[in-house]
Amino acid sequence: MQLTHEENQFERKTFPITLVCDHIYFQQNIGSLFRISEALGVENIIFLGKDIPLTPRKINKTSRSTHLYVPYTIIEETADLTIYLKENNFEIISLEITSDSKPLREVVVPKNQKIALIIGNEINGISDELLKISNQIVHINMFGNNSSMNVVQAASIALYEITSL
């Protein structure tokens, strides 16, 4: 028999993970990122960029009201985000395919350190400025002809892997 939300036996837990969204603008993706962040115990979300479309009515369809429970911040400038991440001693992990990225399964999550998981724009991925400040760059191994997947699907896989360590 299927359990209701109230009947499930999952442990409620929050991880010291900040999901950093580098210029993500599609409202369906934003809503879904709130939903997966809430489900996997993400501490908070940072949206990088100007005019992030956080219209509750539009994102609520995919967020299922989780945008009310996951704290978020908007930082407009990459330089300001860089200062914030460095000053607060985050382990910066970017999810991107690059010439020197390693498979996600090889990610190293330091004990007792806050994690900033950076995910990229729906079209252009993560900016070079953010890749340069990353402590680790990881990718998801894919076996088809395509070399990319939807940002929410990729974030879900990465968050699951990181919170399972």
Band the pLDDT of 5: cuts 50, 70, 90.
confident
Nearest to 22 by CA among 100, 101, 130, 114: 130
Domain that holds residue 81: 15-164
Q: Say whether pLDDT at 9 is over 90.
A: no
pTM of the model: 0.95
Residue 84: which residues within 8 A CB-CB, separation 6 or more? 46, 75
Q: Which helix (H) or strand (E) holds 45?
A: strand 42-48
Structure tokens that stand for 141 in this block: 């191994």
Note the pLDDT tens digit of each residue in 82-136: 999 999 999 999 999 999 999 999 999 999 999 999 999 999 999 999 999 999 9
Identify the pLDDT of residue 155. Answer: 98
Identify the pLDDT of residue 142. Answer: 95
Q: Say whether pLDDT at 22 is over 90.
A: yes
Residue 98 falls inside a structural domain: yes
Task: Check which CATH number belongs to the domain holding 85 and give it.
Answer: 3.40.1280.10
Residue 142 falls inside a structural domain: yes
Q: Give alpha helix (H) positions in the chain.
A: 27-39, 56-63, 78-87, 128-132, 151-164
Residue 1 falls inside a structural domain: no
Residue 10 falls inside a structural domain: no
Residue 44 CB-density burial (10 A; 0-12 exposed, 13-18 middle, 19+ buried) = middle
Q: Does residue 120 contact residue 26 with C-beta atoms inside 8 Å?
A: no
Identify the pLDDT of residue 64. Answer: 92
Identify the pLDDT of residue 102. Answer: 98
